Amino acid sequence: MVRVAKSVARWLHQQVQRAMRIAVWLGEGNAVWALIGIVTLWIIYRQSWSNCLEPQIRLIATLLQSYGIWTVYQGIRERHNLFAKPNMLVRLVAYFQRFPLRKRHVVLAAGSATFELRCSGRAIVKAAPDASVSDRLLRLESNFDSLFSEVGEIASRLEDASKSAEQRFTAEADARKHDVEVLAQRLEAATAGGLHIDLLGVSCVFMGTAASGLAPELAAWFGDAGCQPIPFASIISLGFR
């Protein structure tokens, strides 16, 4: 029973992952799918809009123009969000807040500074003037041991500081490399990332404008020049019979 439950859970997990990949794939081409949806809906419901071809052509022309403007707006919005710039509402509020005659609250800031002075020193123990040779040798040996220990401690500190500085430099270099890569990706996305979507939108605006202006000629070319349009309410009533 436990094995069956694990198998079902694994299968569900695989299906969820597959659905997520499909959703991401569909989201990458949302502009194309939106255009296909608009054209499909026009093909299905154009007879409900009008019985003549000329109003139907004007309808698809208006939809294409609206779609093209939407794609251009999305491209501008993505570039705007890419560099974390404030939106128009925030800019408008900030503009009115900078009104010259507006009263402003002046805030006085006070600060304090603390200075720390560190001093270090070393003492050398000397033998007395009347000390024997053995005492002097003992003093010299003690001072030499102290000096050797101090030099070893300084060398250890220098080695630790060198390793710490090297680690900081490496981390800083990696961070700067990552920032450069992110900046390059942002510049690429801002300059050439959505050019295909912008070109698609501009093409739709051009086709919509051309179709709207040439709607009578296109209707005549397709043999629908003498059509008498039925009022929209009459078309709806005919569709429900």
pLDDT of residue 87: 73
pLDDT of residue 140: 77
Buried b (16+ CB within 10 A) or exposed e, 57-70: bbbbbebbbebbee
* Range list of β-strands (E), 126-184: none
pLDDT of residue 240: 43
Coil, strand or helix at 106:
coil
Per-10-residue mean pLDDT, the chain, length 241:
76 83 74 87 85 87 91 79 74 80 58 50 59 72 79 86 88 86 73 73 89 86 74 49 45
Let me know: does 31 contact 199? Beta carbons within 8 Å.
no
pLDDT of residue 27: 67
pLDDT of residue 65: 92
pTM over the 0.85 mark: no
* Category of 119 on φ-ψ map: left (φ > 0), alpha (ψ -120 to 50) or beta: beta
